[in-house]
Amino acid sequence: MRPLISTTDLAAALAGPEQDRPVVLDVRWRLAGPPGAESYRKGHVPGAVFTDLDRVLAAEPGEGGRHPLPDPADLQRDLRAAGVREGTSVVAYDDADGSVAARAWWLLRWAGHPEVAVLDGGYAAWTAEGHPVTTEEPHPEPGDITVRPGAMPVLNADEAAALARDGLLLDARATPRYAGETEPVDPRAGHIPGAVNAPFSAHVGDNGRWRAPAELAARFADLGLRPGEPVGAYCGSGVTASSVVLALELAGHPGAGLYAGSWSHWSRDPNRPAATGTLPG
């Protein structure tokens, strides 16, 4: 299944035979609120199940960072409750830049479920095009997905540091945070030495849709990515970096590593160095 699905194709799939309809996950979330569940209750794609980033798509914050990977057994339970079955397709959407939906995409891929896509343009595109919305909350039949973690590469801190030296490690945060000019959330400011700044916001256009593969490929080439070079990504807590992995796949570079703990994990250890400024360091 391709990483992206258009609003037109999703609408057609939802209008098709019931047994062929995808499971739709509403993963709206905002760091500063309001809670995504409030937006979901006001209206959502028909049949969509609200899936909370903090409760389902991540474990409790702690030593592993602010959004560590969920326990596989917990993820399996929650995905089954949402109706996810083996072999069925899943579509995730948010109402921002696609980065939270990309976390759901990455997590399902990591769990061994390749039939997953992000709704291109998200909820904004869905409503702008006049597709139906509802306030009715579904009660899906429990699914039977088996979570098999490890289908997408995960980097630990040492591996991320090595990749910054020997390959290409992309930092998905906005430039002021990368440069260490500000740090509103995590213990220390700066970036992993050697990492290259690649703000995730550049993956979508002004219309909220993902850029064309050729545009993304050119962007990553400008950032220094060479064909066949090992590449990985991190961000503040491992969420928006998932969109870098998705963008890399669209651009023809599948299998990028994700430093799941990201800066929220790295910066907890005072023995790990932090570079500042706009250069990799």
H/E segment holding residue 125: helix 122-128
Choosing from 235, 244, 250, 256, the catalytic residue is 235
Q: Which two tokens stand for residue 116?
A: 């997953």
Q: What is the pLDDT of residue 108?
A: 98
Q: What is the pLDDT of residue 178?
A: 98
Phi then psi dihedrals of residue 183, to 5 deg: -150, 95
Q: What is the pLDDT of residue 33?
A: 79
- List of the chain residues with pLDDT < 50: none
The three-class DSSP label of residue 116 is: strand
235 is an active site residue: yes
**Phi/psi-derived region of residue 103, left when phi > 0, alpha when psi is between -120 and 50, beta in every other case:** alpha
Q: What is the pLDDT of residue 252?
A: 97
